[in-house]
Structure 1
Amino acid sequence: MDPRSEVLLRQAQLFAGPLLLAGLPSDDLLGHLPNARSWSWHAGDHGLLESRFAGRNHFGVTPAPVAAPAAVLFLPKSRDLTEYLLSALAAQLAGGDLFLVGEKRAGIERAAKQMAAFGKPRKLDSARHCQLWQVRVDNVPPAPDLEALAQYYSLQLADGPLTVVSLPGVFSHGRLDVGSQLLLQHLDGLQPGHMLDFGCGAGVLGSALKRRYPDSRISMLDVDAFAVASSRLTLAHNNLEAEVICGDGIDAAPLGLSTILSNPPFHQGVHTHYQASENLLRQAARHLDANGQLRLVANSFLKYPPLIEQHLGACTILDEAKGFRIYDARKK
């Protein structure tokens, strides 16, 4: 059981009635709270919850109507995303209770101050290195317009400017990260055909691919619903077309790919998490066609070449800068 869920269950009497759990982990909490429903934006967590508690789960960037007098938000990593989620929930909880639970090291006390816009927050519990806060929603905010919260920035690429639309909570929100910047310099010599941007985030790499290889079919995949929404906005803003998929890792990708391009994730929340990236390296060959190609950027301290060579083929380092490396390999 996730420690944040354990903290809720220490106050189980507060959560016996109808309740919405937002951003909850994929543990057994719904089994302990039979009147609760979930709202997730992580495709992996949603899939696991739906497999165990079918019909009690909602997925997407906006909440389903809150048919409950209370909601709990599990603190996400991003402060901007926290503000959006708190407002989206509070907008449907007039006179109801909004709870916030999270780890101390994730900044729960700072985040609790964001609840003051709706009423007077109070701390209910502190245990398992986590805290639980509550506010009665007396000041009901308007439902937030997610797209209005987007940040825009422009990239000057060889084939013209590209505008990136970044929503709260998306990796490297509002700016180009160092890894993607390096990988953008190495888009030549890729195998055209059906190309995948794995871990697409705000859609930087996938959009650049479509511009560089306009006759290729481009798919973009991310586990996070806010990233998928951002990628769709970036494509639309630049008059580009691509398939955008929300799914849990490389298993959700199409087969028969000519190229997989990736700045793969290795963080989930405040924790370092390599599983999605390592699964990509282990399973890439299954999704690539004959002579298919994998090109990715990764922190240079990560020992990816042996894994690539074991499961795909000979690995070449194309470039190295600012603590990152570009790896390239073709299917055996």
Structure 2
Amino acid sequence: MSNAPTSEVLLRQIERLGGHVLLAGLPADDLLGELPQAQGWSWHAGEQRLLEARFPGRCHFGVTPPPGPFEAAVLFLPKSRELTDYLLAALASQVPHGHLYLVGEKRAGVERAAKQLGTLAKAAKLDSARHCQLWHASIGEAPPAPDLHALAQRYSLPLADGELQVLTLPGVFSHGRLDRGSALLLEHLDGLPTGHVLDFGCGAGVLGATLKRRYPQSRLTLLDVDAFAIESSRLTLAANGLEGDVIAGDGIDAAPTELAAIVSNPPFHQGVHTSYEATERLLREAAKHLRPSGELRLVANSFLRYPPLIEEHLGACRSLAEADGFRIYSARRA
């Protein structure tokens, strides 16, 4: 497997990384094989699965770093500026009198993120290649580990059955606000089959929590690829006194079977790139996870040609509503 450009730039400075190093947000490539004493930290379930298969026990999954201390830590730049702040602070707390590196693509904003690194210690650019940059800062006395839950943003949704409290963590889709697609779907949750219901791509758990209040006798599972979304959903459920199984997984393959319904505002972003692969796989595979007469109900941008894919793999597709550039689709398994 070839290395990502960010890994290649990092390996140009391999002499700096020979000790106990923590690689945060690393790509699922050969990097851990090149750095035998390094340990990974991932919050993406798909990349974690690939890394665990190739380098068993060497990559930690979750919203907090594995126990340190480390001689050095490397942050592979994430998309969210707020998440970058948290991750840099968390890594700095793990490298007392050590080194903190930042690597990322120029178009992803690595120069902007270098200024965030500079708030912790003096930052200097070490290398620039493959449209990427590598920055470095020396950490003195390690700052205390940041309190992730204290960074959660809370907002209230006025629903027919009372206000719903929503908590979102840095880096989670639509952080601190309700997106337009979910708002439209929330208005069209009537008439779902009862039983085991899945919120696919759950984000902060808005849809899942609403479903559990609307259908209290149904079992609820919430699924997302991102550990920060998983933690946000747990916080949202707890804030409303609701119960549900919250699981991390890379797409619909990780979902339970014999579901009464799958409800989703499916994701279509991966890093700085746009990808519809997870949603298209959901549409192709939903029937395998639904019981007979089980329903898939989702919101999507109106311009996306999803109905033919839904009808090919699941059944007749109905459009329930359209507004603000979004459309609600529904289909039942035969």
Tell me, in whole angstroms, the C-alpha distance in 2 between the residues paired with 1:33 and 1:306: 47
Encode CA deviations 1:177-232: one digit per residue, 9 max, x unaligned: 01100100000011111110000000000000001101111111011111010000
Q: Aligned partners of 1:239 and 1:289: how far apart in 2? A: 28
Q: TM-score normalised to the size of structure 1?
A: 0.98
Deviates more, 1:7-16 or 1:230-239: 7-16
Query: What does residue 61 of structure 2 align with?
Result: 59
Amino acid at match of 2:258: G
Partner AA of 2:312 in structure 1: Q
- Following superposition, the deviation at residue 67 of structure 1 comes to 4.0
Alignment of 1:106-185 (within 5 A): 106-138=108-140, 140-185=142-187
1:190 aligns with 2:192: yes
Structure 2: how far apart are the matches of 1:85 and 1:67? 15
Supply the AA of the counterpart residue of 2:322: E
The amino acid that maps onto 2:102 is L
Structure 1: where are the runs of 5+ without partners? none
- TM normalised by structure 2 equals 0.98
The residue number in structure 1 matching 2:33 is: 31
Aligned residue for 1:117, secondary structure, equals coil
Q: Distance in 1 between matches of 2:278 and 2:72?
A: 33
Residue correspondences, number: 332
Q: Secondary structure at 2:82's aligned position in 1?
A: helix
Which amino acid is the alignment partner of residue 97 of structure 1?
H
Unaligned runs of 5+ in 2: none
Deviation at residue 153 of structure 1 after TM alignment: 0.4
Tell me, yes or no, if the aligned pair for 1:152 and 1:174 is still in contact at 8 Å. Answer: yes
1:126 corresponds to which letter in structure 2?
S
Query: Which residue in the other structure is 1:49 paired with?
Result: 51
| Equivalent in the alignment of 1:316 | 318
CA contact (8 A) 2:73 2:99 kept: yes
1:264 aligns with 2:296: no
Equivalent in the alignment of 1:15: 17
Which portions of structure 1, spanning 4 or more consecutive aligned residues, are displaced by more than 3 angstroms? none
Q: Which stretch shows the higher mean deviation, 201-210 or 267-276? A: 267-276
Deviations 1:28-68 (A, max 9, x none): 11111111110001111111000000111111100011242
Whole-Å separation in 1 of the counterparts to 2:9 and 2:85: 22
Stretch deviating more after TM superposition (67-76 or 255-264): 67-76
**Residue of structure 1 equivalent to 2:234:** 232
Amino acid at match of 2:153: Q
Asked whether the 8 Å contact 1:117–1:139 carries over to 2, the reply is no
In 1, the alpha carbon distance for the partners of 2:63 and 2:166 equals: 19
* C-alpha contact 1:26 1:49 (8 A) present in aligned 2: yes
Aligned to 1:4: 6
What is aligned with 1:306? 308
Q: Distance in 2 between matches of 1:159 and 1:104?
A: 47
Aligned to 1:88: 90
Higher mean Cα deviation, 129-138 or 139-148?
139-148
